[in-house]
Structure 1
């Protein structure tokens, strides 16, 4: 019986199998997808930046040229290396060229309104105070905040990061915690931490004419203690551990930022990334336990609300009751944890920077140190400062404002155009970042006069609104509806710390001190802030007219 050879005889070529329609369709779809991705990548990385750059230049806005995805990062790194290679002379307060070299050079070459590039995104500096106020007020909703990256969210994700209704709700709930009467309740926590600091310094100086300390880490420890006590009250020790972890997280974050140009770096299992993830989990776990314990105590009426966390939770519960007891109208436990992280990041870092630069500047200007000390002693003698007296300190307030102007902790703010927007006669395309270089504005001679780089606290003698030509032009706490909620908290803490140091010590710069302001998140002393402390005799008396001179 004959059989059919299906495969075919040896030596005969097998018939070609037809390519399936499904495979062809899939290949076609894949090709289309790849083309679409390539077009979108080209639009993001090349066409849109060049289109936006042309639109800005056609209106007379100059600046650097967009050349690659790195933007101005290589230029910025080179300029920063050059700027950091040499410290400033002692007594020099012209810190902008060293702290913000890229923007200083760009504005010098292309004007105060000029373009730099953050990757493929154009950044336009806005320095006119009137325009800065318009952007920060954002009455028409044309300017949005930049979204937090993964690194920033690990440090803080509170009210300052939110937009729209979520921001408004958080602001309403948090605001009562910073009312004047509530701040008075926290003053004993401020005083206790400052007392511990000066007592420890006195023990270091015991038996010696003077001793030397680096006040930069000392101020970080002080403000960390203050925020731990003021935010968590009876849970202070747990809060102290969070403060230590947050400090380590900040250092690791700064280290990681140098490698963000490596695609997917944050997802690599490096030692730094693993430790950052571990710290984030530990901080969140600790905060969750503290919040849960306090919420349970509040429900049973056992908890006092004299600290920030208690006040925040109490305000949240009242907000929910005011909406028919619906817990969905308040903020969640995750939101409360985000606000606690913000307490630490903003409350600790900014005030420690302010106090450090204040002590350094008063060493450079001993005449103002004496005037501030005389005022403090006239007001309090050797007593612990109290709220009403601190609020009446005129010279100390002028000094703190002038330090905030010359050494603005947060050197710049950023906003993004949400739509094509006109500002100051220039129409900005959607997606442009507006950089508000606060430090540059605070040193602008057209705004503050020819002595803008000099330490002259008397310029604030009649208040903030009369201190500058284009008033107001003083933005250390922002402006408009998003003005920093905790500015009174920070100033009260700074006045308490400054007063108690001046009561006990005369200070001067150590020969080891190098005047090297550097912008790393905030404006910090690159090599520390070494000062010499000299103990003062107790019971000093000051003539009645001394502190007013």
Structure 2
């Protein structure tokens, strides 16, 4: 009996320890204390449920709004995609990177890469349209833009290793889709380690993504004698190398895992945001053809019949240019991220609100972009001219546009994204006019980023047809 008791105790103690560390503290104690501290400050929300949190309520509201289809002139998709805020109403109460100096990564020759990749896409679309007697073709432009921006970021980030970069992109894209599907599921501790079909697929993709990026990185590190390359990965490795004085030993200031995470970040950010900016801009220019015509005239005036290059693109970059205004207004109405998230590293106080360490703060940028007190009564309308005096004067507060965030954590690739979008848009406008296909259904959906649920079918017409 004594030996059985010892065995029982030997099993009981680690079980209790596991329950305390992985169940009681993270799923009972911390949520209770967090809710209590916020209630004491007058900040209330829906009640927390064990393991489920508020996910069940959010999922029900999203399912109820999922069949809602909007008119193409209706840009207020928040009741459809942000029911947590618009549906709960009063139950919720308001309460730069080392790689790029001040935080804007852009290489002098990147515009050539962008134009070369965009040329291939535009040529394919031209061939499709010219093969029809009426000079028209219907295409899913959202898919075209996804492939194009993946091609551009692969060349820019990984240079000669861009084919491996494309493989990494496809793996990461599928992982994103898996993450979206499981986002509001009940998170049972330990479930992700079970040998289910979904878990095996996720593990396989993660191994492929890591292995592909590791292959690219190790290839660069082994060729340090000839330099690490002039692309984004090469510059990052160059910045991460610390050389000890008097020695020839090189040591990375970032671990391989950290470099891999950086690659994932700029791959996702550099591809997804630009692709969606182009997608929603084409949508808006199709709905408002007068703006499409105005931008076409500007593109022809600044670029002529030549392809965009560093000189004429610099003119289109000016804040006074209509193309800049249209892109900024697109980012306000259809920014890729509906929310920004920040987590304090220490206990902080914002105004009179105390925010505990490690508590995620959600900044609903999409809702703030529609605040009439900030943007005026026409906040739900497409009006690029609100930006004619620059971003800081477009609203009643200087930093109202949060599409790229602000501060030291702002997007390091925003200049790259805007230049890429302008290059592609200028080339399309000079070759085609476009309208929405009769098959288009206006149903923006939040899949980590704001995407057209049923794609963007567009009818392209050759201008010289």
Q: After TM superposition, give the deviation of residue 313 of structure 1 in Å.
A: 2.7
Instruction: Please state how far the C-alpha of 1:31 moved relative to its aligned partner.
Output: 6.3
Q: What is the deviation of 1:253?
A: 3.1
User: How far 1:351 sits from its partner (Å)?
Assistant: 1.1
* Matching residue of 1:423: 350
Contact 2:104 2:413 in 1 (8 A): no
User: CA offset at residue 192 of structure 1?
Assistant: 0.9
Q: Take 1:309 and 1:373, find their aligned partners in 2: how far apart are those partners?
A: 35
- Return the index of the structure with the highest Cα Rg: 1
User: What residue is the counterpart of 2:124 in the other structure?
Assistant: 200
- Measure how far apart 1:286 and its partner are: 2.5
Alignment of 1:95-106 (within 5 A): 95-106=77-88
| 1:144 paired residue number | none
* Aligned residue in 1 for 2:368: 441
Match for 2:236 among 288, 312, 335?
312
Contact 2:142 2:279 in 1 (8 A): yes
Give, in whole Å, the separation in 1 of the partners of 2:257 and 2:344: 29
**TM-score, normalised relative to structure 1:** 0.76
Partner of 1:7: none
Partner of 2:197: 271
Cα displacement (A) at 1:531? 1.0
Equivalent of 2:272, from 339, 349, 353? 349
Deviations 1:1-38 (A, max 9, x none): xxxxxxxxxxxxxxxxxx64x76677668767766776
1:298/1:314 contact within 8 Å kept:
no
Q: Is the 8 A contact 1:193 1:222 kept in 2?
A: yes
Shift of 1:178: 7.7
Deviation of the 1:378 alpha carbon: 0.3
2:436 pairs with 1:513:
no
Q: Deviations over 1:52-85 (max 9, x none)?
A: 3243233322322234331211111111112111
What is the alpha-carbon distance in structure 2 between the residues aligned to residue 435 and residue 323 of structure 1?
Answer: 48
Number of matched residues?
458
* Aligned counterpart, 1:245: 171
Partner SS for 2:335: coil
C-alpha distance in 1, partners of 2:402/2:245?
35
Matches within 5 A, 1:277-356: 277-300=203-226, 305-317=229-241, 319-320=242-243, 327-328=250-251, 330-356=253-279
2:237 and 2:17 map into 1 onto residues whose CA distance is 49
In structure 2, C-alpha distance between the alignment counterparts of 1:179 and 1:515, rounded to whole Å:
34
Q: Deviations over 1:332-374 (max 9, x none)?
A: 4433333222222111111111111111111111111111111
1:247–1:401 distance in 2 versus 1, CA, 3 Å: same
Q: What's 1:158 paired with?
A: none
Structure 2 residues not aligned, in runs of 5+: none
Kindly indicate whether the alpha-carbon contact (under 8 Å) linking 2:103 and 2:410 is maintained by their aligned counterparts in 1: no
Shift, 1:243, TM fit:
2.4
When residues 260 and 298 of structure 1 are mapped into structure 2, their CA distance, relative to the original with a 3 A threshold, is farther
Q: Deviations over 1:407-460 (max 9, x none)?
A: 111111222344443223222344532111111111111211111111111111
| 2:154 is aligned with 1:228 | yes
The alignment yields a C-alpha RMSD, in angstroms, of 2.8
8 Å contact 2:103–2:408 — kept in the other structure? no
Is the contact made by 2:140 and 2:455 (CA closer than 8 Å) also made in structure 1? Answer: yes
For the residue of structure 2 that corresponds to 1:484, the secondary structure is: coil
1:86 has 2:68 as partner: yes
Name the stretch that deviates more: 507-516 or 308-317. Answer: 308-317
Given the alignment of the two structures, is residue 175 of structure 1 paired with residue 157 of structure 2, yes or no?
no
Change in Cα spacing, 1:447 to 1:259, as seen in structure 2 (3 Å) is same
Task: Verify: 1:496 aligned to 2:423, yes or no.
Answer: yes
Summarize the Cα distance change of 1:190–1:271 in structure 2 as closer, same or farther, 3 Å threshold.
same
User: Taking structure 1 as reference, are residues 26 and 323 closer, same or farther at Cα in structure 2, changes over 3 Å only?
Assistant: farther
Using a 3 Å threshold, how does the CA distance of structure 1 residues 219 and 323 change in structure 2: closer, same or farther? farther
Q: Are 1:55 and 2:37 counterparts? A: yes
Distance 1:434 1:259, change over 3 A: closer
**Distance 1:26-1:436 versus aligned 2 partners, 3 A rule:** same
Preserved contact between residue 518 and residue 524 of structure 1 (Cα < 8 Å) = yes
Query: What are structure 1's unaligned runs of at least 5 residues?
Result: 1-18, 115-167, 539-549
* 8 A Cα contact 1:249 1:276, kept in partner: yes
Query: Relative to 1, partners in 2 of residues 1:284 and 1:405: Cα closer, same or farther, differing over 3 Å?
Result: same
Secondary structure of 2:109 counterpart? helix
Show the counterpart of 1:373. 296
Distance 1:373 1:325 in 2: 55
Q: Report the counterpart of residue 463 of structure 1 in structure 2.
A: 390
Q: SS where residue 427 of structure 1 aligns?
A: strand
CA distance in structure 2 between the aligned counterparts of 1:262 and 1:285, rounded to whole angstroms: 28
Counterpart CA distance in 2 for 1:237 and 1:368 is 37
